[in-house]
Amino acid sequence: MDASHAVDHQIGGHPEQDHQIGGHPERDHDLREQEGPVIMKDLPGTPGTIGGLVLRIGQFLFAAASVVIMVTDAGFINFTAFCYLAAAMALQFLWSFLLATLDVYALLIKRGLPNSILLSLFVVGDWVTATLSLAAACSTAGLTVLFDKDLNYCDQMHCRRYQLSATMAFLSWVLIAISSHLTLWLLASECFSQN
């Protein structure tokens, strides 16, 4: 047996045999023409899938946790980085909640979201919110490290609470980064499949 040569087997019989058994050669030919190139519509995590919904739910839950943890301390308003984190995470919560709602709608009607314009909007929105979220999480983490390690100011304020809020923001950002990359790949595959 020679394993170095590819073997090409047809699945099913000949069109004449299918027609005799009850198949329709015209309809079978139309189905083969509609298949076209393989695109990444079924990639887990893309918009309109269960994975995409799970990513969006994780994003808005971590963003909500970050905001709640931050605003439960009245002293956060005195620091710009902490206010920025609360605002950025509130925006992230709204964006992710909106997209999770669209994912639920797409799952209910059992259709994906392959519209190129809609996917472009998702990619740009994810990039904007991801940039804001990462900047806010980094500034909050940097400020808490300054207060804790350099100024020994954490005895007078709740540094652990701010660190936990920054951690939730980082976790939300990781999920945003994953979903934005998957959506970008889906958008690229959609654009290339149309050419």
Q: pLDDT tens digits, residue range 31-83?
A: 444 444 444 556 778 888 899 999 999 999 999 999 999 999 888 888 999 99
Task: Give the Cα separation of 81 and 122 in Å (integer).
Answer: 27
Whether residue 19 is predicted with pLDDT greater than 80 in this model: the reply is no
pLDDT bracket for residue 24 (50, 70, 90): low
Q: Which token pair is 113?
A: 């979201």
- In the 8-state DSSP scheme, what is residue 2? -
Per residue in 150-180, pLDDT (tens digit) is 887 777 777 888 999 999 999 999 999 999 9
On whether the CB atoms of residues 47 and 126 are closer than 8 A, the answer is: no
Return left, alpha or beta for 22; rule: phi > 0 is left, psi -120 to 50 is alpha, else beta: left
pLDDT, averaged across the chain = 81
- At 83 the pLDDT is 94
Task: Give the Cα separation of 66 and 76 in Å (integer).
Answer: 12
What does pTM read for this prediction? 0.73
Distance of CA 187 to the CA centre of its chain: 13
Task: Give the Cα separation of 30 and 42 in Å (integer).
Answer: 23
Which letter, b or e, does each residue of 80-97 get, where b requires 16 or more Cβ atoms within 10 Å of its Cβ? ebbbbbbebbbbbbebbb
- Per cent of the chain over pLDDT 90 is 47
Task: Give the Cα separation of 52 and 69 in Å (integer).
Answer: 26
